[in-house]
Structure 1
Protein backbone atom coordinates (compact mmCIF):
# COMPACT_ATOMS: atom_id res chain seq x y z
CA UNK A 1 0.00 0.00 0.00
CA UNK A 2 1.74 3.22 -1.10
CA UNK A 3 1.90 6.07 1.39
CA UNK A 4 1.09 9.49 -0.06
CA UNK A 5 3.99 11.92 -0.06
CA UNK A 6 3.80 15.72 0.14
CA UNK A 7 1.06 17.10 -2.12
CA UNK A 8 -0.12 13.59 -2.98
CA UNK A 9 -3.58 12.05 -2.61
CA UNK A 10 -4.24 8.34 -2.28
CA UNK A 11 -7.41 7.23 -4.07
CA UNK A 12 -9.49 4.08 -3.80
CA UNK A 13 -10.36 3.67 -7.48
CA UNK A 14 -13.98 3.00 -8.45
CA UNK A 15 -13.75 3.55 -12.22
CA UNK A 16 -11.05 4.23 -14.80
CA UNK A 17 -11.16 5.98 -18.15
CA UNK A 18 -9.53 4.42 -21.22
CA UNK A 19 -8.36 6.77 -23.95
CA UNK A 20 -6.06 7.15 -26.93
CA UNK A 21 -3.18 8.38 -24.81
CA UNK A 22 -3.14 5.04 -22.99
CA UNK A 23 -2.90 3.15 -26.28
CA UNK A 24 -0.10 5.40 -27.52
CA UNK A 25 1.73 4.99 -24.19
CA UNK A 26 1.53 1.20 -24.44
CA UNK A 27 3.01 1.32 -27.96
CA UNK A 28 5.70 3.94 -27.19
CA UNK A 29 4.10 6.52 -29.48
CA UNK A 30 3.24 9.08 -26.84
CA UNK A 31 4.95 12.40 -26.07
CA UNK A 32 7.17 10.60 -23.56
CA UNK A 33 8.51 7.05 -23.54
CA UNK A 34 7.90 4.62 -20.67
CA UNK A 35 10.65 4.10 -18.12
CA UNK A 36 10.16 0.58 -16.80
CA UNK A 37 8.65 -0.55 -14.55
CA UNK A 38 5.81 1.70 -15.69
CA UNK A 39 2.17 2.10 -14.82
CA UNK A 40 -0.71 2.89 -17.14
CA UNK A 41 -3.67 5.23 -17.19
CA UNK A 42 -4.51 8.93 -16.92
CA UNK A 43 -8.14 8.90 -15.77
CA UNK A 44 -9.93 7.57 -12.73
CA UNK A 45 -12.59 8.40 -10.18
CA UNK A 46 -12.94 7.19 -6.65
CA UNK A 47 -12.72 8.04 -2.96
CA UNK A 48 -9.86 9.73 -1.15
CA UNK A 49 -8.24 7.11 1.05
CA UNK A 50 -5.41 9.18 2.53
CA UNK A 51 -3.68 12.50 1.99
CA UNK A 52 -0.04 13.52 2.23
CA UNK A 53 1.64 16.45 3.88
CA UNK A 54 0.57 19.93 2.74
CA UNK A 55 -2.63 18.68 1.08
CA UNK A 56 -5.30 21.18 2.12
CA UNK A 57 -8.15 20.82 -0.38
CA UNK A 58 -9.02 17.16 0.15
CA UNK A 59 -9.96 14.91 3.04
CA UNK A 60 -10.50 11.19 3.51
CA UNK A 61 -13.85 10.19 2.03
CA UNK A 62 -14.03 12.91 -0.64
CA UNK A 63 -15.34 11.82 -4.03
CA UNK A 64 -12.76 12.84 -6.62
CA UNK A 65 -11.47 12.26 -10.14
CA UNK A 66 -8.10 12.85 -11.80
CA UNK A 67 -7.18 15.34 -14.50
CA UNK A 68 -4.58 14.13 -17.06
CA UNK A 69 -1.97 16.65 -15.91
CA UNK A 70 1.01 14.55 -14.84
CA UNK A 71 3.77 12.37 -16.25
CA UNK A 72 2.79 8.74 -16.75
CA UNK A 73 6.30 7.88 -15.59
CA UNK A 74 5.43 9.29 -12.17
CA UNK A 75 1.76 8.43 -11.67
CA UNK A 76 -0.86 6.09 -13.13
CA UNK A 77 -4.52 5.29 -12.53
CA UNK A 78 -4.97 1.60 -13.42
CA UNK A 79 -5.11 0.08 -9.97
CA UNK A 80 -7.28 -0.52 -6.92
CA UNK A 81 -5.33 2.02 -4.85
CA UNK A 82 -3.33 4.75 -6.61
CA UNK A 83 -1.47 7.94 -5.82
CA UNK A 84 -2.06 11.22 -7.65
CA UNK A 85 -0.58 14.71 -7.32
CA UNK A 86 -3.05 17.01 -5.62
CA UNK A 87 -2.86 19.53 -8.49
CA UNK A 88 -4.41 16.89 -10.75
CA UNK A 89 -7.24 15.85 -8.41
CA UNK A 90 -10.67 17.50 -8.40
CA UNK A 91 -13.93 16.97 -6.56
CA UNK A 92 -16.88 16.21 -8.78
CA UNK A 93 -20.59 16.84 -8.22
CA UNK A 94 -22.87 14.12 -6.91
CA UNK A 95 -24.78 14.26 -10.19
CA UNK A 96 -21.89 12.40 -11.85
CA UNK A 97 -21.39 8.67 -11.44
CA UNK A 98 -17.88 7.34 -10.97
CA UNK A 99 -17.85 6.13 -14.59
CA UNK A 100 -18.97 9.52 -15.88
CA UNK A 101 -16.43 11.39 -13.79
CA UNK A 102 -13.62 9.13 -15.05
CA UNK A 103 -14.58 9.72 -18.68
CA UNK A 104 -14.89 13.48 -19.12
CA UNK A 105 -11.57 15.11 -18.32
CA UNK A 106 -9.36 13.92 -21.18
CA UNK A 107 -11.96 14.65 -23.86
CA UNK A 108 -12.98 18.10 -22.67
CA UNK A 109 -9.53 19.35 -21.64
CA UNK A 110 -8.09 18.29 -24.99
CA UNK A 111 -10.73 20.25 -26.89
CA UNK A 112 -10.79 23.20 -24.46
CA UNK A 113 -7.03 23.62 -24.54
CA UNK A 114 -6.96 23.98 -28.31
CA UNK A 115 -10.21 25.77 -29.08
CA UNK A 116 -10.54 28.14 -26.12
CA UNK A 117 -7.24 28.45 -24.29
CA UNK A 118 -5.10 28.65 -27.45
CA UNK A 119 -7.26 29.54 -30.48
CA UNK A 120 -9.77 31.61 -28.48
CA UNK A 121 -12.57 30.84 -30.94
CA UNK A 122 -15.39 33.35 -31.05
CA UNK A 123 -18.83 33.97 -32.50
CA UNK A 124 -18.84 34.10 -36.27
CA UNK A 125 -15.86 31.76 -36.65
CA UNK A 126 -15.93 28.21 -38.05
CA UNK A 127 -14.23 25.15 -36.57
CA UNK A 128 -13.63 21.98 -38.62
CA UNK A 129 -13.83 18.84 -36.45
CA UNK A 130 -12.67 15.59 -38.15
CA UNK A 131 -13.64 12.28 -36.50
CA UNK A 132 -16.45 14.28 -34.94
CA UNK A 133 -18.23 11.25 -33.48
CA UNK A 134 -15.24 10.42 -31.25
CA UNK A 135 -15.35 11.41 -27.59
CA UNK A 136 -13.03 14.40 -28.09
CA UNK A 137 -14.87 15.32 -31.29
CA UNK A 138 -18.18 15.44 -29.43
CA UNK A 139 -16.58 17.55 -26.72
CA UNK A 140 -15.19 19.90 -29.38
CA UNK A 141 -18.66 20.36 -30.85
CA UNK A 142 -20.03 21.36 -27.44
CA UNK A 143 -17.13 23.69 -26.66
CA UNK A 144 -17.27 25.40 -30.08
CA UNK A 145 -20.99 26.00 -29.61
CA UNK A 146 -20.45 27.28 -26.08
CA UNK A 147 -17.87 29.77 -27.39
CA UNK A 148 -20.32 30.95 -30.06
CA UNK A 149 -18.36 29.46 -32.97
CA UNK A 150 -19.88 27.23 -35.67
CA UNK A 151 -18.74 23.57 -35.65
CA UNK A 152 -18.38 21.76 -38.98
CA UNK A 153 -18.33 18.04 -38.18
CA UNK A 154 -16.50 15.62 -40.48
CA UNK A 155 -17.42 11.96 -40.67
CA UNK A 156 -16.67 9.36 -43.32
CA UNK A 157 -20.24 8.49 -44.32
CA UNK A 158 -23.72 9.87 -43.79
CA UNK A 159 -24.59 7.15 -41.26
CA UNK A 160 -23.79 9.43 -38.31
CA UNK A 161 -25.10 12.66 -39.81
CA UNK A 162 -28.31 12.72 -37.75
CA UNK A 163 -26.53 11.91 -34.50
CA UNK A 164 -23.92 14.61 -35.07
CA UNK A 165 -26.60 17.21 -35.72
CA UNK A 166 -28.30 16.09 -32.51
CA UNK A 167 -24.96 16.47 -30.71
CA UNK A 168 -24.82 20.11 -31.78
CA UNK A 169 -22.97 20.14 -35.10
CA UNK A 170 -24.26 23.00 -37.26
CA UNK A 171 -22.95 21.32 -40.42
CA UNK A 172 -21.93 17.73 -41.18
CA UNK A 173 -19.72 16.73 -44.13
CA UNK A 174 -19.41 13.06 -45.15
CA UNK A 175 -15.86 13.00 -46.48
CA UNK A 176 -16.20 9.78 -48.51
CA UNK A 177 -19.31 11.11 -50.23
CA UNK A 178 -18.61 14.83 -50.54
CA UNK A 179 -15.74 17.12 -51.51
CA UNK A 180 -14.75 18.31 -48.04
CA UNK A 181 -12.89 21.43 -49.14
CA UNK A 182 -15.67 22.51 -51.48
CA UNK A 183 -18.29 21.96 -48.78
CA UNK A 184 -16.36 23.95 -46.19
CA UNK A 185 -15.92 26.80 -48.67
CA UNK A 186 -19.63 26.70 -49.45
CA UNK A 187 -20.55 26.78 -45.75
CA UNK A 188 -18.13 29.64 -45.03
CA UNK A 189 -19.04 31.65 -48.15
CA UNK A 190 -15.61 31.05 -49.63
CA UNK A 191 -13.63 32.27 -46.63
CA UNK A 192 -12.66 28.94 -45.08
CA UNK A 193 -12.62 27.97 -41.41
CA UNK A 194 -10.26 29.58 -38.91
CA UNK A 195 -9.55 26.39 -36.96
CA UNK A 196 -9.19 22.69 -37.80
CA UNK A 197 -9.03 20.33 -34.82
CA UNK A 198 -7.78 17.02 -36.18
CA UNK A 199 -7.00 13.68 -34.45
CA UNK A 200 -6.15 11.88 -37.70
CA UNK A 201 -3.40 13.51 -39.77
CA UNK A 202 -2.20 11.38 -42.66
CA UNK A 203 -2.89 11.87 -46.35
CA UNK A 204 -6.03 13.97 -45.87
CA UNK A 205 -4.33 16.57 -43.69
CA UNK A 206 -3.44 18.86 -46.66
CA UNK A 207 -7.16 19.07 -47.45
CA UNK A 208 -7.77 20.54 -44.01
CA UNK A 209 -5.10 23.16 -44.67
CA UNK A 210 -6.80 23.98 -47.97
CA UNK A 211 -10.12 24.45 -46.15
CA UNK A 212 -8.71 27.05 -43.74
CA UNK A 213 -8.90 30.79 -44.06
CA UNK A 214 -5.81 32.98 -44.28
CA UNK A 215 -3.91 32.77 -40.96
CA UNK A 216 -5.98 29.71 -40.02
CA UNK A 217 -4.82 27.30 -37.33
CA UNK A 218 -4.59 23.49 -37.60
CA UNK A 219 -4.20 21.29 -34.52
CA UNK A 220 -3.22 17.62 -34.53
CA UNK A 221 -3.86 15.92 -31.21
CA UNK A 222 -4.32 12.20 -31.78
CA UNK A 223 -2.09 11.11 -34.66
CA UNK A 224 -4.43 8.25 -35.58
CA UNK A 225 -2.89 7.77 -39.04
CA UNK A 226 0.65 8.80 -38.26
CA UNK A 227 3.68 6.55 -38.13
CA UNK A 228 6.67 6.70 -35.82
CA UNK A 229 8.43 8.89 -38.43
CA UNK A 230 5.69 11.49 -37.92
CA UNK A 231 6.07 11.84 -34.15
CA UNK A 232 7.18 15.46 -34.47
CA UNK A 233 3.65 16.34 -35.64
CA UNK A 234 2.12 15.70 -32.23
Structure 2
Protein backbone atom coordinates (compact mmCIF):
# COMPACT_ATOMS: atom_id res chain seq x y z
CA UNK A 1 0.00 0.00 0.00
CA UNK A 2 1.52 3.32 -1.11
CA UNK A 3 -1.22 5.76 -0.16
CA UNK A 4 -2.46 6.96 3.18
CA UNK A 5 -6.01 8.12 3.96
CA UNK A 6 -5.91 11.27 6.10
CA UNK A 7 -8.59 13.60 7.40
CA UNK A 8 -7.86 17.29 6.87
CA UNK A 9 -9.74 20.57 6.76
CA UNK A 10 -9.16 23.70 4.69
CA UNK A 11 -11.52 26.09 6.48
CA UNK A 12 -12.73 26.43 10.06
CA UNK A 13 -16.33 25.66 10.79
CA UNK A 14 -18.84 22.87 11.33
CA UNK A 15 -17.86 19.18 11.38
CA UNK A 16 -18.60 18.96 7.67
CA UNK A 17 -15.34 20.82 6.90
CA UNK A 18 -13.49 17.57 7.65
CA UNK A 19 -12.41 15.93 4.38
CA UNK A 20 -10.90 12.55 3.54
CA UNK A 21 -7.85 12.82 1.33
CA UNK A 22 -5.23 10.50 -0.14
CA UNK A 23 -1.53 11.19 0.10
CA UNK A 24 1.69 9.26 -0.26
CA UNK A 25 2.92 7.42 2.82
CA UNK A 26 5.83 9.43 4.21
CA UNK A 27 9.05 8.36 5.87
CA UNK A 28 9.77 9.45 9.44
CA UNK A 29 12.51 12.02 9.92
CA UNK A 30 15.10 12.29 12.67
CA UNK A 31 13.51 11.55 16.05
CA UNK A 32 10.20 10.48 14.49
CA UNK A 33 8.34 7.21 14.14
CA UNK A 34 5.55 6.03 11.86
CA UNK A 35 2.68 3.96 13.21
CA UNK A 36 -0.06 2.01 11.51
CA UNK A 37 -2.98 3.47 13.43
CA UNK A 38 -5.46 1.04 14.97
CA UNK A 39 -7.55 3.42 17.08
CA UNK A 40 -7.75 7.15 17.81
CA UNK A 41 -8.91 8.71 21.03
CA UNK A 42 -10.80 11.93 20.30
CA UNK A 43 -11.78 14.82 22.55
CA UNK A 44 -13.67 18.09 22.59
CA UNK A 45 -10.47 20.09 22.16
CA UNK A 46 -10.30 18.82 18.59
CA UNK A 47 -13.69 20.38 17.92
CA UNK A 48 -12.43 23.70 19.26
CA UNK A 49 -9.32 23.42 17.09
CA UNK A 50 -11.46 22.69 14.02
CA UNK A 51 -13.47 25.84 14.74
CA UNK A 52 -10.39 27.99 15.30
CA UNK A 53 -11.14 28.45 18.99
CA UNK A 54 -8.39 26.32 20.51
CA UNK A 55 -5.34 27.39 22.51
CA UNK A 56 -3.13 26.19 19.66
CA UNK A 57 -3.17 28.12 16.39
CA UNK A 58 -5.36 26.37 13.83
CA UNK A 59 -3.42 25.58 10.65
CA UNK A 60 -5.65 25.18 7.62
CA UNK A 61 -4.86 22.30 5.32
CA UNK A 62 -3.79 20.42 8.42
CA UNK A 63 -5.23 17.61 10.45
CA UNK A 64 -6.16 16.81 14.03
CA UNK A 65 -5.41 14.56 16.95
CA UNK A 66 -2.51 13.52 19.17
CA UNK A 67 -3.89 10.46 20.94
CA UNK A 68 -3.81 7.05 19.26
CA UNK A 69 -2.82 3.39 19.40
CA UNK A 70 -0.90 1.64 16.67
CA UNK A 71 1.98 -0.55 15.55
CA UNK A 72 5.36 1.02 14.81
CA UNK A 73 6.16 0.24 11.18
CA UNK A 74 9.10 2.61 10.57
CA UNK A 75 11.53 4.62 12.68
CA UNK A 76 13.64 7.61 11.81
CA UNK A 77 17.32 8.18 12.61
CA UNK A 78 18.36 8.35 16.28
CA UNK A 79 15.22 6.65 17.58
CA UNK A 80 16.10 4.18 20.33
CA UNK A 81 13.02 3.99 22.58
CA UNK A 82 10.80 1.85 20.30
CA UNK A 83 11.24 -0.90 17.72
CA UNK A 84 9.55 -1.71 14.43
CA UNK A 85 6.64 -4.06 15.09
CA UNK A 86 6.04 -2.77 18.61
CA UNK A 87 2.50 -1.83 19.61
CA UNK A 88 2.35 1.52 21.39
CA UNK A 89 0.01 4.20 22.62
CA UNK A 90 0.63 7.91 22.18
CA UNK A 91 0.72 10.32 25.07
CA UNK A 92 -0.41 13.77 23.87
CA UNK A 93 2.87 15.69 23.96
CA UNK A 94 2.86 17.60 20.68
CA UNK A 95 0.63 20.20 19.10
CA UNK A 96 -2.08 19.19 16.68
CA UNK A 97 -0.77 21.65 14.11
CA UNK A 98 2.55 19.78 13.96
CA UNK A 99 1.56 16.20 13.07
CA UNK A 100 -1.32 14.31 11.44
CA UNK A 101 -2.93 11.65 13.64
CA UNK A 102 -6.36 11.42 11.99
CA UNK A 103 -4.92 9.00 9.43
CA UNK A 104 -4.23 5.37 8.61
CA UNK A 105 -0.49 5.93 9.01
CA UNK A 106 0.73 8.62 11.38
CA UNK A 107 4.19 10.10 11.78
CA UNK A 108 4.75 11.37 15.32
CA UNK A 109 7.69 12.26 17.58
CA UNK A 110 9.29 9.21 19.15
CA UNK A 111 9.12 10.78 22.62
CA UNK A 112 5.31 10.60 22.47
CA UNK A 113 5.38 6.79 22.58
CA UNK A 114 3.77 5.37 25.72
CA UNK A 115 3.22 1.80 26.91
CA UNK A 116 0.46 -0.33 25.43
CA UNK A 117 -1.32 -2.34 28.13
CA UNK A 118 -2.07 -5.95 27.15
CA UNK A 119 -4.65 -6.10 29.96
CA UNK A 120 -6.74 -3.48 28.13
CA UNK A 121 -8.43 -3.59 24.73
CA UNK A 122 -7.27 -1.45 21.83
CA UNK A 123 -10.14 0.97 22.46
CA UNK A 124 -9.34 1.19 26.17
CA UNK A 125 -5.69 1.90 25.44
CA UNK A 126 -6.75 4.67 23.08
CA UNK A 127 -8.96 6.17 25.77
CA UNK A 128 -6.59 6.25 28.72
CA UNK A 129 -3.48 8.36 28.11
CA UNK A 130 -4.95 11.75 27.28
CA UNK A 131 -7.68 11.45 29.89
CA UNK A 132 -5.57 10.24 32.80
CA UNK A 133 -2.64 12.51 31.96
CA UNK A 134 -4.97 15.52 31.95
CA UNK A 135 -6.42 14.56 35.31
CA UNK A 136 -3.00 13.78 36.79
CA UNK A 137 -1.57 17.17 35.83
CA UNK A 138 -4.42 19.12 37.38
CA UNK A 139 -5.14 17.08 40.49
CA UNK A 140 -1.72 15.68 41.40
CA UNK A 141 1.01 17.77 39.73
CA UNK A 142 -0.62 21.15 40.46
CA UNK A 143 -3.43 20.38 42.90
CA UNK A 144 -1.34 18.09 45.13
CA UNK A 145 -4.54 16.60 46.53
CA UNK A 146 -4.60 13.85 49.15
CA UNK A 147 -7.02 12.04 51.47
CA UNK A 148 -7.85 15.27 53.33
CA UNK A 149 -9.32 16.97 50.24
CA UNK A 150 -12.79 17.14 48.78
CA UNK A 151 -12.74 17.63 45.01
CA UNK A 152 -15.57 18.80 42.75
CA UNK A 153 -15.37 17.52 39.15
CA UNK A 154 -17.60 19.44 36.72
CA UNK A 155 -18.77 17.78 34.53
CA UNK A 156 -17.86 14.19 35.27
CA UNK A 157 -19.32 11.81 32.73
CA UNK A 158 -16.85 12.33 29.86
CA UNK A 159 -13.54 10.53 29.55
CA UNK A 160 -11.49 13.14 31.41
CA UNK A 161 -14.13 13.51 34.11
CA UNK A 162 -14.14 9.78 34.80
CA UNK A 163 -10.34 9.69 34.82
CA UNK A 164 -10.39 12.58 37.30
CA UNK A 165 -12.71 10.62 39.60
CA UNK A 166 -10.39 7.63 39.50
CA UNK A 167 -7.28 9.78 39.96
CA UNK A 168 -8.71 11.53 43.01
CA UNK A 169 -9.77 8.22 44.53
CA UNK A 170 -6.30 6.79 43.87
CA UNK A 171 -4.91 9.24 46.46
CA UNK A 172 -7.88 8.91 48.81
CA UNK A 173 -9.68 12.21 48.20
CA UNK A 174 -13.45 12.58 48.49
CA UNK A 175 -15.08 13.19 45.11
CA UNK A 176 -18.23 15.12 44.24
CA UNK A 177 -19.18 14.50 40.61
CA UNK A 178 -21.71 16.38 38.50
CA UNK A 179 -23.93 15.42 35.59
CA UNK A 180 -27.05 16.91 34.09
CA UNK A 181 -28.37 13.45 33.25
CA UNK A 182 -29.85 11.44 36.17
CA UNK A 183 -29.34 8.22 34.19
CA UNK A 184 -25.57 8.61 34.65
CA UNK A 185 -25.57 8.76 38.45
CA UNK A 186 -25.06 5.04 39.07
CA UNK A 187 -22.21 4.76 36.59
CA UNK A 188 -20.39 7.71 38.19
CA UNK A 189 -20.78 6.07 41.59
CA UNK A 190 -19.43 2.85 40.11
CA UNK A 191 -16.37 4.74 38.85
CA UNK A 192 -15.70 5.86 42.42
CA UNK A 193 -17.54 9.14 43.00
CA UNK A 194 -18.64 9.54 46.61
CA UNK A 195 -21.50 11.87 45.70
CA UNK A 196 -23.19 12.96 42.46
CA UNK A 197 -25.03 16.23 41.89
CA UNK A 198 -27.60 16.14 39.08
CA UNK A 199 -27.41 19.72 37.84
CA UNK A 200 -30.73 19.53 35.99
CA UNK A 201 -32.53 19.15 39.31
CA UNK A 202 -30.19 20.79 41.87
CA UNK A 203 -27.74 23.67 41.66
CA UNK A 204 -24.06 23.02 42.23
CA UNK A 205 -24.05 25.37 45.22
CA UNK A 206 -27.03 23.66 46.87
CA UNK A 207 -25.55 20.24 46.21
CA UNK A 208 -22.07 21.02 47.50
CA UNK A 209 -23.39 22.81 50.56
CA UNK A 210 -25.66 19.87 51.33
CA UNK A 211 -22.88 17.32 50.93
CA UNK A 212 -20.14 19.24 52.75
CA UNK A 213 -22.41 20.84 55.35
CA UNK A 214 -21.53 24.30 54.00
CA UNK A 215 -17.77 23.74 54.31
CA UNK A 216 -17.11 23.62 50.56
CA UNK A 217 -14.45 21.91 48.47
CA UNK A 218 -10.71 22.44 48.35
CA UNK A 219 -10.36 22.04 44.57
CA UNK A 220 -12.66 22.33 41.56
CA UNK A 221 -11.74 20.68 38.25
CA UNK A 222 -13.88 22.44 35.65
CA UNK A 223 -14.38 22.16 31.89
CA UNK A 224 -17.43 24.41 31.47
CA UNK A 225 -17.55 28.03 30.28
CA UNK A 226 -20.11 30.80 30.82
CA UNK A 227 -21.17 32.18 34.20
CA UNK A 228 -20.21 28.98 35.98
CA UNK A 229 -17.25 30.48 37.88
CA UNK A 230 -19.58 32.44 40.15
CA UNK A 231 -21.06 29.24 41.51
CA UNK A 232 -17.80 27.31 41.58
CA UNK A 233 -15.98 30.01 43.55
CA UNK A 234 -18.94 30.18 45.92
CA UNK A 235 -18.50 26.49 46.88
CA UNK A 236 -14.68 26.60 47.07
CA UNK A 237 -13.12 26.89 50.52
CA UNK A 238 -11.13 30.02 51.37
CA UNK A 239 -7.66 29.50 49.95
CA UNK A 240 -8.90 26.81 47.58
CA UNK A 241 -8.34 26.42 43.86
CA UNK A 242 -10.42 26.27 40.68
CA UNK A 243 -8.59 24.66 37.77
CA UNK A 244 -10.12 25.48 34.39
CA UNK A 245 -9.04 22.88 31.84
CA UNK A 246 -11.74 22.87 29.18
CA UNK A 247 -13.83 25.14 27.02
CA UNK A 248 -17.16 23.32 26.77
CA UNK A 249 -19.78 25.81 25.65
CA UNK A 250 -17.32 28.20 24.00
CA UNK A 251 -18.66 31.18 25.98
CA UNK A 252 -16.98 34.09 27.72
CA UNK A 253 -16.35 33.20 31.36
CA UNK A 254 -16.49 36.26 33.66
CA UNK A 255 -14.29 36.29 36.74
CA UNK A 256 -16.18 36.85 40.02
CA UNK A 257 -13.50 39.26 41.15
CA UNK A 258 -14.83 40.20 44.60
CA UNK A 259 -15.34 36.58 45.68
CA UNK A 260 -11.97 35.48 44.33
CA UNK A 261 -10.16 38.25 46.18
CA UNK A 262 -12.26 37.99 49.33
CA UNK A 263 -11.72 34.23 49.70
CA UNK A 264 -8.18 34.10 48.36
CA UNK A 265 -9.17 31.67 45.63
CA UNK A 266 -6.65 30.64 42.97
CA UNK A 267 -8.11 30.44 39.46
CA UNK A 268 -5.72 28.42 37.32
CA UNK A 269 -5.91 27.84 33.60
CA UNK A 270 -4.45 24.49 32.65
CA UNK A 271 -3.75 22.32 29.65
CA UNK A 272 -2.21 18.89 29.43
CA UNK A 273 0.56 20.17 27.17
CA UNK A 274 2.28 22.35 29.74
CA UNK A 275 2.88 19.09 31.60
CA UNK A 276 3.75 16.70 28.77
CA UNK A 277 6.07 19.03 26.86
CA UNK A 278 8.60 18.54 29.65
CA UNK A 279 10.37 15.13 29.40
CA UNK A 280 10.88 14.81 33.16
CA UNK A 281 7.14 15.23 33.67
CA UNK A 282 6.41 12.57 31.05
CA UNK A 283 8.29 10.01 33.11
CA UNK A 284 6.17 10.84 36.17
CA UNK A 285 2.92 10.67 34.21
CA UNK A 286 3.80 7.32 32.64
CA UNK A 287 4.78 5.87 36.01
CA UNK A 288 1.56 7.11 37.63
CA UNK A 289 -0.66 5.73 34.86
CA UNK A 290 1.14 2.36 34.77
CA UNK A 291 0.73 1.96 38.51
CA UNK A 292 -2.96 2.85 38.27
CA UNK A 293 -3.68 0.44 35.43
CA UNK A 294 -1.73 -2.43 36.99
CA UNK A 295 -3.49 -1.95 40.36
CA UNK A 296 -6.93 -1.78 38.75
CA UNK A 297 -7.61 1.86 39.67
CA UNK A 298 -8.13 2.84 36.05
CA UNK A 299 -10.90 0.73 34.59
CA UNK A 300 -12.53 0.79 31.17
CA UNK A 301 -14.36 4.03 30.45
CA UNK A 302 -14.98 3.79 26.72
CA UNK A 303 -18.37 5.24 25.92
CA UNK A 304 -18.78 5.25 22.12
CA UNK A 305 -16.72 3.63 19.39
CA UNK A 306 -17.00 4.97 15.83
CA UNK A 307 -15.50 3.94 12.50
CA UNK A 308 -12.80 6.05 10.86
CA UNK A 309 -15.18 6.72 7.96
CA UNK A 310 -17.61 8.45 10.35
CA UNK A 311 -15.43 11.26 11.76
CA UNK A 312 -17.92 14.00 10.89
CA UNK A 313 -20.49 12.34 13.13
CA UNK A 314 -17.84 11.84 15.81
CA UNK A 315 -17.40 15.60 16.01
CA UNK A 316 -21.16 16.16 16.00
CA UNK A 317 -21.48 13.71 18.90
CA UNK A 318 -18.75 15.48 20.86
CA UNK A 319 -20.35 18.87 20.32
CA UNK A 320 -23.75 17.58 21.47
CA UNK A 321 -22.15 17.35 24.92
CA UNK A 322 -23.86 14.24 26.29
CA UNK A 323 -20.89 11.87 26.40
CA UNK A 324 -20.74 8.90 28.72
CA UNK A 325 -17.11 7.86 28.82
CA UNK A 326 -14.40 8.31 26.22
CA UNK A 327 -14.94 8.49 22.47
CA UNK A 328 -12.75 6.22 20.33
CA UNK A 329 -12.46 5.81 16.56
CA UNK A 330 -11.39 2.45 15.12
CA UNK A 331 -9.14 2.64 12.06
CA UNK A 332 -8.99 -0.18 9.52
Please classify the TM superposition score into its range, dividing by the shorter chain length: over 0.9
> Deviation of residue 97 (structure 1)?
2.4
1:105 is the counterpart of 2:129: yes
Instruction: Write the deviation string for residues 109-155 of structure 1: whole angstroms up to 9, x where unpaired.
Output: 11111001110111121100112111111111100100111110111
Deviates more, 1:214-223 or 1:114-123: 214-223
Equivalent of 2:223, from 171, 190, 199?
199
1:146 is the counterpart of 2:170: yes
Assess, with a 3 A threshold, how the Cα gap between structure 1 residues 216 and 13 changes in structure 2: closer, same or farther: same
Equivalent of 1:117, from 118, 138, 141?
141
Return the alpha-carbon distance in structure 1 between the equivalents of residues 208 and 62 of structure 2.
44
1:185 is the counterpart of 2:209: yes
| 3-state SS of paired residue (2:59) | coil
Deviates more, 1:164-173 or 1:32-41: 32-41
Q: How do 1:69-148 and structure 2 match up within 5 A?
A: 69-148=93-172
Instruction: Write the deviation string for residues 148-173 of structure 1: whole angstroms up to 9, x where unpaired.
Output: 11110111243322221111110111
Q: How do 1:166-185 and structure 2 match up within 5 A?
A: 166-185=190-209
> Deviation of residue 91 (structure 1)?
2.6
Deviates more, 1:27-36 or 1:178-187: 178-187
Return the alpha-carbon distance in structure 1 between the equivalents of residues 246 and 46 of structure 2.
11
Structure 2: stretches of 5+ with no match in the other structure = 1-24, 254-268, 271-332
Structure 2 residue aligned with 1:56: 80
Return the alpha-carbon distance in structure 2 between the equivalents of residues 157 and 23 of structure 1.
22
Q: TM-score normalized by structure 2?
A: 0.66
RMSD over equivalenced CA pairs, Å: 1.9
Q: TM-score normalized by structure 1?
A: 0.93
1:156 is the counterpart of 2:185: no
Q: How do 1:18-33 and structure 2 match up within 5 A?
A: 18-33=42-57
| 3-state SS of paired residue (1:116) | helix
Q: Which runs of 4+ in 1 moved over 4 A?
A: none
Number of corresponding residues: 233
Deviates more, 1:170-179 or 1:130-139: 170-179
Return the alpha-carbon distance in structure 1 between the equivalents of residues 33 and 120 of structure 2.
21
| 3-state SS of paired residue (1:13) | strand
Does the 8 A contact of 2:127 with 2:159 survive in 1?
no
Equivalent of 1:12, from 26, 32, 36?
36
Structure 2 residue aligned with 1:225: 249
The structure, 1 or 2, with the larger RCO (C-alpha pairs under 8 Å, 6+ apart) is: 2
Does the 8 A contact of 2:34 with 2:108 survive in 1?
yes
Return the alpha-carbon distance in structure 2 between the equivalents of residues 158 and 93 of structure 1.
33
Does the 8 A contact of 2:100 with 2:106 survive in 1?
yes
